[in-house]
Structure 1
């Protein structure tokens, strides 16, 4: 009996230590590591490619989630508004395409063309980047600012407060965050809850 209890104790310790090493992803003030992911045009894209950028609006999104689809026009609008000001949109598709084949690269290309995406639409092959960030939803946004230390996480969460109706939005979280950074002001709401579909693992 003691031997069995000892085995359970060892198993419990191993499980707990395993859980303890799981990274929750980035928090405000963390430095995001760079990545190299394939774009829909076949080129590999890294944040370091953007020499003149002041920061980035990194958005985990996909073709198939109704929430992501509802936000597509607003994502395009964000890039049109802020890319020229130094904060381009970088869209990343994080889903496992074996689980959700309608998010494969061919589908990504078709979606980007039909919606007129003006920004990179990258595939997180092997799902290596979304866990680093701690992204769990599509869409989910990380606003980064270039600093002497690297790309610092300044905002995490939703695009705005109404996915259903763009005309009824009251709080534009991402716009408010980027506007604050451009003005050299603190961000009033640096974290919000992303509303969307779970990333398919």
Structure 2
């Protein structure tokens, strides 16, 4: 899968992306709500090596990178998890390099991927899971038209503690009203 938006090129993660991905993913403060913060370049290499060779495989996570068209730098990534009945459901996750946050890149990247998932891959439902304290991500999902479906109490084990988790979702027919 390779798609473009106004400011971004979105493509599968590749081994040569390792250093750039480590650069922003290893920032513990910026990524405090993330489930994966690599501690070494080798850990990122392993992560990239596990990325499936094919997009849209059942029960897989597929990692895409977002490249700023102007600077040609990797500025973030989007994880796509295919699951459910005939893998017609998808979970999305997004990480943006600190210097590119609050500039609309996450919204642009997610919107572009969502459009492809609903229109080209005929997905039924897209979800996103967020820590209640992550106000910026909650605002982002709301601005994309997601609705909150649930607030799970102490349902996610991260960094040695049980954390709350808020689930947002959007159906294909809801996406059509957002466009």
TM-score class normalised by the smaller sequence: under 0.3
The structure with the greater share of residues assigned to strand is 2
Name the TM-score, length of structure 1 as normaliser.
0.25
Rg: which structure is higher?
Answer: 1
Q: Which has the higher helix share?
A: 1
Bigger RCO (CA 8 Å, 6+ sep): 1
TM-score, normalised with respect to structure 2: 0.27
